[in-house]
């Protein structure tokens, strides 16, 4: 009886139909595993890219926080106005240093609240019209 049962399973497993079905299952399993591997690699690449972006954002946030803290002080605001708009306080002098070639000298001008006689640049006229 044992012998007959063993023969039945051997013939069943070795049948062409079972071999084809098992081969199809192996192919589908291999394809699924390959797709999962491809998705894992793509995910790892996106993770690395996101980490780089995050690091840049953290650095940008730190820079912006430092700049906001600097501009929160009166000294920072004054320095920024002087840098961006070339503003001077009333009564201050501005020294313009030019190349030391013959015929050229250093020019000194007084800052005042009135518009220059020739009208000045369009930016100066705009700032004067706004009251700055």
- The predicted-structure confidence for 6-53, as pLDDT tens digits, reads as follows 677 777 777 888 889 999 999 999 999 999 999 999 999 999 999 999
In this structure, the answer to whether residues 56 and 100 fall within a common structural domain is: no
Nearest to 115 by CA among 106, 105, 123, 107: 123
> Is 77 within a domain?
no
Domain carrying residue 106: 89-130
Q: Are 6 and 68 within one domain? A: yes
Asked, for residue 108, whether it belongs to a domain, the answer is yes
Contacts of 91 (CB under 8 A, 6+ apart): 110, 111
Tally the domains of the chain.
Answer: 2
Q: Are residues 58 and 106 in the same domain?
A: no
The conformation of residue 116, written as its DSSP 8-state character, comes to P
pLDDT digits (tens, 9 = 90+) for 57-108: 999 999 999 999 999 999 998 888 888 887 777 877 777 777 776 655 544 4
CA angle 94, 98, 100 (to 5 degrees): 135
């Amino acid at each position: 009886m044992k012998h007959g049962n063993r023969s039945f399973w051997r013939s069943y497993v070795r049948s062409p139909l079972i071999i084809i079905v098992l081969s199809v299952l192996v192919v589908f399993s291999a394809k699924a595993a390959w797709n999962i591997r491809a998705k894992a690699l793509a995910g790892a690449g996106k993770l690395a890219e996101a980490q780089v972006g995050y690091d840049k954002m953290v650095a940008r946030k730190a820079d912006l926080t430092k700049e906001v803290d600097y501009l929160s002080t009166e000294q920072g605001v004054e320095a920024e106005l002087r840098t961006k708009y070339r503003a001077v306080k009333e009564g201050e002098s501005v020294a313009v240093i030019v190349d030391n070639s013959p015929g050229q000298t250093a020019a000194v001008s007084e800052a005042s609240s009135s518009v220059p006689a020739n009208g000045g640049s369009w930016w100066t006229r705009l700032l004067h019209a706004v009251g700055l």
